[in-house]
Structure 1
Amino acid sequence: MDGVPKIFMTLFVALTCLSCTKADEANPKPKQSILPLAYHQVSSEGVTLHLISFDSRQYHLEVADQPKGPGSLWPDAKSCGTAKQALASINAGFFTPEGKPLGLVIENGTKRGYNNPSSLGSAFYYIDTNKKITAIARRKHLSNLTKNLTPNHLLQAGPMLSDGGHTVKGLSKQNARKRSFIAHDGADHWLIGYADACTLEQLSKAIAGKKLAGCQISNAMNLDGGRSSDLWISAAVPGGEKTFRSFFNKPVRNFLILKPTP
């Protein structure tokens, strides 16, 4: 007799799950509206942010690397973006004093660098155009994802600034400086960001879980900052034709460029 309730409970759970599945199929989640391409200046938690909103169904980020080192092809984001006929360009990954990438980089299927185990390699951006997958994820998921995907472009950087909409613990409270980052809502809405001087902790609090420029931020990753921070926005972006770059800016190894999706 003790087994009878368990049997009924198992049948009840199975029928409930089947009912939920059919209900989900009958009422699929509505597709997201397209997030317009545009430049925005916003303030969040006392941090001024310069943002470009875009939708990954219409646009995507590609890696533009300089194999011969920083400044060998483009001295700044504007020259890179112009040469690549991009809508916008922002500095990307970290690099060694010798100019080698400090993390894994994939540009048009060509790999350079290595998997960086430090906090500067705790996250990565990737895009697989064949499977139409674009995302930001933690380093621990890298090996599993690359088994199933063939990223056209991949950039390792860090640290994470927002993880599932939550602030990230342990970020530095020191060294307020210009910051560069990218963020998305876990689906199709994306942001390219340039922050006025702030610490990593301040930036995390300013963006994690916030709805900024129409994007409800889930995951966000930090890019190289300080004197490396460099954002150029073309006139083709509504509100654009802008450059955010310090006077003492230094050449960088690579950029992320915004391109229309064919």
Structure 2
Amino acid sequence: MIRGFRRSSRNTREKFKDRRRVVRFRYASAARSFYGSLLLLLAALAASAQAEWKVLSTESERGRAGIEHRHVAVEDAAAGQRVTVDVAVFSPKSTALRLIDNPDGQSLDAMMKREKFVCGVNGGYFDTEFKPIGLRVADDTTFSALRRARLITGILLQSDRGIDVVRAGQFSRTKKIVAAVQSGPFLVEGNKRIRGLNDSQLARRTFAGIVTNDRAFLGVCSDVSLADLANILATTPIVADSKIRRAMNLDGGSSSAFWFAREDGSAFSISGRKPVRDFVAVVPK
């Protein structure tokens, strides 16, 4: 009986050790999960704290057809970063969008002065053979087909119903499309910034969008990440008292260019650093 008791005691001790191992394992797993979640939360809080963009200054001037040019300086004080944003804001009631095909690689400045355009920016992406990537419609004619790709998720268009920015997956031919350019990614939707955009690569940016009081805009921005550009557009009064409903990215970097015709006939321009395949322009109705 003593021997049996000893064997029973050993079995009990082993079972107790096994239970302690399970408890320790569960505790360690729970601790790792807790601290992992805590680190993610702290990282998110740090990121949000570093992304508080504030307007430093705003300059505004009028152009033809009621267009307004706004030059806005913004700052993220926590990150020590300053960015300048230039936007041309216009009403679809008095103006219309046009897509200009540019197979010869002329400059935006030269193209804008050739006709009665009141403002313009570079357009969408193109490949190494200078062929457009994604949908292009100019003067009611499609010269590049719609493509399904992760980056080019947006379409800026002029239809018989006005100017709009739509998701590529929601694009419909039921409307008469006069002009369209596919690009991306989306930056703002439903007055809120798109999350998950790249936050590390800084470059000049070109963008387009629509605002709450039935106006549209074209713009460029000095070196900034896509995530920060989305944050700037969604949280700062770049377009005066209006909220941005939807905005999308156009081709940027060395392609970025901006042109605006002042009321006195002179022009404000930011030149691109390389030829681009197409331009988005605004004309008076």
TM-score interval, normalised by the smaller of the two chains: 0.7 to 0.9
Return 5+ residue gaps in structure 2 as ranges.
1-64, 77-82
Q: CA deviation at 1:254?
A: 0.2
Between 1 and 2, higher relative CO (CA 8 Å, sep ≥ 6) is seen in: 1
Q: Call closer, same or farther: CA 1:237–1:111 in 2, change over 3 Å.
A: farther
Which structure would you say has the larger Rg?
Answer: 2
Q: Call closer, same or farther: CA 1:81–1:136 in 2, change over 3 Å.
A: same
Q: Which residue of 2 aligns with 1:196?
A: 222
Greater helix content: 2
Q: Which residue of 2 aligns with 1:40?
A: 70
Q: Call closer, same or farther: CA 1:42–1:97 in 2, change over 3 Å.
A: same
Alpha-carbon separation, structure 1, partners of 2:179 and 2:66: 23
TM-score, structure 2 normalization? 0.70
Q: Which residue of 2 aligns with 1:115?
A: 146
Superimposed CA distance per residue, residues 84-142 of structure 1 (whole angstroms, 9 cap, x where no aligned partner):
3201121011001001110110001111222222233200011113xx32210111101
**RMSD over aligned Cα atoms:** 2.0
After superposing on structure 2, the runs of 4+ consecutive aligned residues of structure 1 that deviate more than 4 Å are: none
Superimposed CA distance per residue, residues 14-41 of structure 1 (whole angstroms, 9 cap, x where no aligned partner):
xxxxxxxxxxxxxxxxxxxxx9521111
Q: Which residue of 1 aligns with 2:121?
A: 90
- Matched position secondary structure for 2:227: helix
Q: Which residue of 2 aligns with 1:136?
A: 165
Please state if 1:255 is matched with 2:279: yes
Counterpart residue identity of residue 73, structure 2 = S
Q: CA deviation at 1:45?
A: 5.0
Please state if 1:100 is matched with 2:126: no
Q: CA deviation at 1:237?
A: 7.8
Identity within the alignment, %: 23
Q: CA deviation at 1:236?
A: 3.2
Q: Is the 2:98–2:138 contact (alpha carbons within 8 Å) kept by the matching residues of 1? A: yes
Alpha-carbon separation, structure 1, partners of 2:235 and 2:142: 32
After TM superposition, list the pairs within 5 Å mapping 1:173-252 onto structure 2: 173-186=199-212, 188-208=214-234, 210-214=236-240, 215-236=242-263, 241-245=267-271, 249-252=273-276
Q: CA deviation at 1:82?
A: 1.1
Counterpart of 1:57 (choices 93, 115, 119) is 93
Return 5+ residue gaps in structure 1 as ranges.
1-34
Q: Is the 1:179–1:225 contact (alpha carbons within 8 Å) kept by the matching residues of 2? A: yes
Q: Which residue of 2 aligns with 1:12?
A: none
Counterpart residue identity of residue 250, structure 1 = K
Q: Which residue of 2 aligns with 1:3?
A: none
Q: CA deviation at 1:212?
A: 2.3
Q: CA deviation at 1:210?
A: 4.2
TM-score, structure 1 normalization? 0.76
Q: Is the 1:63–1:255 contact (alpha carbons within 8 Å) kept by the matching residues of 2? A: yes
Aligned residues: 214
